[in-house]
Structure 1
Amino acid sequence: MSSRHTKRSTNAPTRIVLFNKPYDVLTQFTDQEGRETLKSYIPIKDIYAAGRLDRDSEGLLVLTNDGKLQHRLADPKNKTSKTYWVQVEGDISDEAIIALRNGVELKDGMTAPAQVERINEPSLWPRNPPVRFRKNIPTSWLSMTITEGRNRQVRRMTAHVGFPTLRLVRYRIGNWTIDGIPNGQYVDISAPSKKI
């Protein structure tokens, strides 16, 4: 079965679901290779992910039946801001943070400037499997906000400045966050009176 997108009929109300995606889950409902998908977590038909979140990343995923909303959130031209909590290997330097803030040169061109701050380790669910740490090498946590949607962009940016990403959690998309949504759970924020 394919997970092809179907157009929402004009009388079907907009459905918006916020999902806190676990590690190692694909952001689609079917997979020919038998890997874990959204189907294991979300029993709602005819909604699709607005944008991607890599299998090895965690956190906020917005799903909707509204093609225009999906396009608005996913299309890089619309510059929807997204905030990630990023655990990197090493005690990240001020120079590396400044470079990330200014934008770095990747193979597909210069990135736009990012908002980057050091943060204390956030209170998160345990990852399964756990992140593999190297003994005697510290780690740092960053909050990174970007407005582009390049493939694996945050990971490529931190690697470029010499601090590989160990764990990546998307905290925010636009005005939506994972606050109050346990990992592996979803919240339907569609208007309660609008049933499909």
Structure 2
Amino acid sequence: MLIAFHKPMNTLSQFTDEGKWPGLSRFGLPGGVYAAGRLDRDSEGLLLLTDDGRLQAKITSSGTAKTYFAQVEGVVSDAALAALAKGVALKDGVTRPAQVSAMDPPDVPPRDPPVRFRKTVPDSWLQLTIREGRNRQVRRMCAHVGLPCLRLVRWRIGAHTLEGLAPGAWREIPL
């Protein structure tokens, strides 16, 4: 079984609640499935769940492409795009090159709570595709090039997308 779930912001990628943060058990997901990878509490978007250990390992392998929409503080420069595309040096090593482009705001549901709007600080959107999954990697990559991440939505994992899923909703994907 493979399930696509739209993880809302401030939800954990585990079934048990922790402190004030809810886990996945609140969303009526079938029993016996586990997250194939993680998505930080303050990030939102596509989380795949499965009951198949081999499939879980395949999804979480470092070769699987993951696409994110990142709302960042500031105006995206050609130099920032070039640095992200080449790979940036983080404390835990240089990242693999990313496919990256500036984009218009994507058609994603409003975030709860909304991103704080600041009249004096512009924001922009990036689309990034990476093939590794370090802790808070996209956020750290954006910050490294001077574009702090305000909102992060994982849109795609491999061939599977968030298309048509409202926050907190899930669907089974035929294998």
TM-score, with length taken from structure 2: 0.96
The alpha carbon displacement at 1:182 in A equals 1.4
Displacement of 1:32: 4.3
Report the more deviating stretch, 166-175 or 40-49: 40-49
**Aligned mate of 2:46, from 60, 73, 78:** 60
The one-character-per-residue Cα deviations of 1:37-69 (angstroms, maximum 9, x if unpaired) are: 111113310000000000000100000000011
2:25 is matched with 39
Structure 1 residue 34: deviation in Å?
Answer: 4.8
Residue 137 in structure 1 maps to residue 112 in structure 2:
no
Unpaired segments of 5 or more residues in structure 2?
A: none
Read off the aligned partner of 1:72 and give its amino acid letter. K
2:166 corresponds to: 182
Letter in 2 for 1:189: I
Identity %: 55
Corresponding residue SS for 2:151:
strand
- 3-state SS, counterpart of residue 121 of structure 1: coil
Corresponding residue of 1:91? 75
* Residues 1:27 and 2:21 aligned together: no
Q: Which runs of 4+ in 1 moved over 3 A?
A: none
Partner of 2:58: 72
Q: What secondary structure, in the 3-state scheme, does the structure 1 residue paired with 2:68 have?
A: strand
1:146 to 130, 133, 137: 130
Q: Separation in 2 of the partners of 1:87 and 1:16? A: 29
Counterpart CA distance in 2 for 1:82 and 1:151 is 14
CA–CA distance in 2 between the matches of 1:55 and 1:146?
19
Counterpart code for 1:134: R
Measure, in 2, the Cα distance between the counterparts of 1:34 and 1:190: 34
What is the CA deviation profile of residues 4-36 of structure 1, one whole-angstrom value per residue up to 9, with x for unaligned ones?
A: xxxxxxxxxxx1110011100001111342521
| TM-score normalized with structure 1 length | 0.86
- Residue 177 of structure 1 aligns to which amino acid in structure 2? T
Is 2:141 the partner of 1:157? yes
Gaps of 5+ in 1: 1-14, 192-196
Q: Distance between the aligned counterparts of 2:29 and 2:65, measured in 1?
A: 28
Q: Report the CA distance between 1:72 and its aligned residue.
A: 1.1
Instruction: Report which of the two structures shows the higher radius of gyration computed on alpha carbons.
Output: 1
Instruction: Give the 3 Å change call, closer, same or farther, for CA 105–40 of structure 1 in structure 2.
Output: same
- DSSP 3-state at the match of 1:68: helix
